[in-house]
A and B are shown apart, each in its own frame.
Chain A
Amino acid sequence: AQRVTQPEKLLSVFKGAPVELKCNYSYSGSPELFWYVQYSRQRLQLLLRHISRESIKGFTADLNKGETSFHLKKPFAQEEDSAMYYCALSGRGQAGTALIFGKGTTLSVSS
């Protein structure tokens, strides 16, 4: 079954602390992995995707096929990082853009 699991509903950290948002997936083929973010009163938006291998707003994510994970990391959290984060996947080569989402993790960064 195709599934994305985000084990933590809420992650609370202090400003300047490292952050790791966990994401594990189950997919029979080759997946494309994404992290989407939703800031307060804003719409859901793409943060980063694994094929780009970018660092966006200090966040990085590495696809680990052996552990079927795509954890999101940032070395030093900022208060403006507080948001809801969703891990998502689609099937590489699939015809459409349908995304399978995890249930999301709320990141709360306090000073």
Chain B
Amino acid sequence: KAGVTQTPRYLIKTRGQQVTLSCSPISGHRSVSWYQQTPGQGLQFLFEYFSETQRNKGNFPGRFSGRQFSNSRSEMNVSTLELGDSALYLCASSLRQGSGTEAFFGQGTRLTVV
């Protein structure tokens, strides 16, 4: 079956702009999580959605937001982009919620803010 699909793969944006990233989970998976990966901070949890509701949120400013649709697809939005937002953004889907559930990762979207 198809894996987690993230679009676009690469993005270049200017400081102050906003951006929307998309994630299509594995068919049947209802939980979608987002992570930011940078060389300095590593992989950091952004937020998690399950059944269209945000269930968990990491320690990121309100400029970072997301949503999940009824088909479990998810989008994350970053407004008023800063240079420090340049990162690889990873989406992961899981069959269900709960600790111990395996997360399946997408290839990521590489965002560069100039």
Contacts and interface: CB of A to CB of B under 8 A. Distances in A.
Nearest to A102: B42
Interface of B is mostly: strand
Interface string A29-46: 000100000000001111
Best-surrounded residue of A49, A95, A97 (most CB of chain B within 10 A): A97
A96 B42 contact: no
B56 A96 contact: yes
Interface of A is mostly: loop
A44 B90 CA distance: 9
B7 interface: no
Contacts, number: 70
Interface string B48-85: 10100001101000000000000000000000000000
A98 B33 contact: yes
A101 B100 CA distance: 14
B50 A44 contact: no
B112 interface: no
A65 interface: no
Interface of B: 3-4, 31, 33, 35, 42-45, 48, 50, 55-56, 58, 90, 92, 94, 97-108
Interface of A: 32, 43-46, 49, 51, 86, 88, 90-104
